[in-house]
Amino acid sequence: MHKDKQNANFVIMEWQTKVAAEFTVERFSYRTRFLFAGSCFSAEISARMRALEFLVAPDPFGVLFNPASICQALERMETRKLFQPGDVVAFPADGYGTYAHHSSFSGPDPLSFLESANRALTSASEFFSTADVIIITFGTAWVFTLEGQVVANCHKMPAEYFKRTMLNPMQIADAFSPFLERYPRKQWIFTVSPIRHLADGAHGNQVSKASLLLAITELQQRFPAVSYFPSYEILLDELRDYRFYAPDRCHPSQETIDYIWFRFLDAFFDDKSIEIAGKMERLVKSLAHKPRFPGSEEHAKFVLNIKKQQDEMLKAIGILRK
């Protein structure tokens, strides 16, 4: 049989379900001012964007997993309500901090923690008022409360101190609605962390994620400024294989994080910014490379050349912001 006829009825198989990401009407650029809050996706993407010289607010709280704690953080940034000495707690395993912060913010003594926390909060508050885009990542609908107050992190304190409940979709949507009503000109992007909380069991994790997804859908129906980025669906539906996970089988691998980052850029940024970000990322990786002979003349020339290219890219970014 002729080769062309033999292949005439062959069907090319698609081995992935490609997840579509909605596009914003106005593309973001190096002029856009971003504020991130929430779970690991926000922390990962915001760190990348800072390294690539995007305008990103400082992080005043660290990773926040539940919607109620994220709301409390936004309220602090909006009102510039600083932390007081009475808010600081001595955590036996985590140093000095507050129940509003991630343990990465803890300090060795109350004064240094308070100064650092309020300095970061002041900077983020100043940025919040002028931010064009607020990007929120929900991690879990489960919340822990201590004496009726939601905590962002238990800091390894005894479990019997806390009460654990799950937020339903309407509770989450109602909590965020006032912010969207007060700031209709800001673009709000919500996403759900693809990291599974298997301590809740496979079913419990899915119920929690479902509550988060339904809350975001409700916010989209209420407010035209709300967009959704499907990081959760990209990992669980499009990639759908343990080879895309880290060894713990819960967190995504570095390769997967890179892929989701590129999908994020493609969904929301203009072509010129994507081009510059790609060049900046290659330069950042080149500088991070560990040389065999760091004291050599050849390496010194290499570093000088990379920094010269970086300076040229920074000038290009400065022109875009005018």
23-44 pLDDT per residue, tens: 776 899 999 999 999 998 888 9
**CATH, residue 78:** 3.40.50
Q: Within a domain: residue 276?
A: no
Tens of pLDDT, residue by residue over 163-202, are 999 999 999 999 999 999 999 999 999 999 999 888 888 8
- Of 62-71, 205-214, 229-238, 248-257, the least confident: 248-257
Token pair belonging to 114: 């308070």
The candidate with the shortest Cα–Cα distance to 84, out of 98, 63, 105, 69, is: 98
Structural domain includes residue 313: no
What is the pairing mode between strands 142-146 and 149-151?
Answer: antiparallel
The percent helix, strand, coil of the chain (3-state, each to 5) is 50, 15, 35
Does the residue 316 lie in any domain? Answer: no
Instruction: State the total domains in the chain.
Output: 1
Is residue 172 domain-resident?
A: yes
Which secondary structure element, helix H or strand E, spans residue 188, and what is its range? strand 187-192
6 pLDDT band, cuts 50/70/90, is: low
Partnered with residue 165 across adjacent β-strands are 143
Which structural domain range is residue 48 located in?
22-270
Task: Assign 321 a pLDDT band (cuts: 50, 70, 90).
Answer: confident
Classify residue 301 as exposed, middle or buried by CB count within 10 Å of its CB (0-12, 13-18, 19+).
Answer: exposed
Residue 147 inside a domain? The answer is yes
Give a yes or no: residue 204 inside a domain.
yes
Name the token pair of 50: 């800072």
pLDDT digits (tens, 9 = 90+) for 261-272: 999 999 999 999
Q: How confident is the model at residue 5 (pLDDT cuts 50, 70, 90)?
A: low
State the pairing for strand pair 95-97/163-166. unpaired
In a domain, 160, yes or no: yes
* Residue 90, in any domain of the structure: yes
Cα 65 from Cα 193, distance rounded (Å):
9
Identify the bridge partners of residue 252 per DSSP, sorted by sequence position.
245
CA distance 230 to 191: 6
Q: What is the pLDDT of residue 270?
A: 93
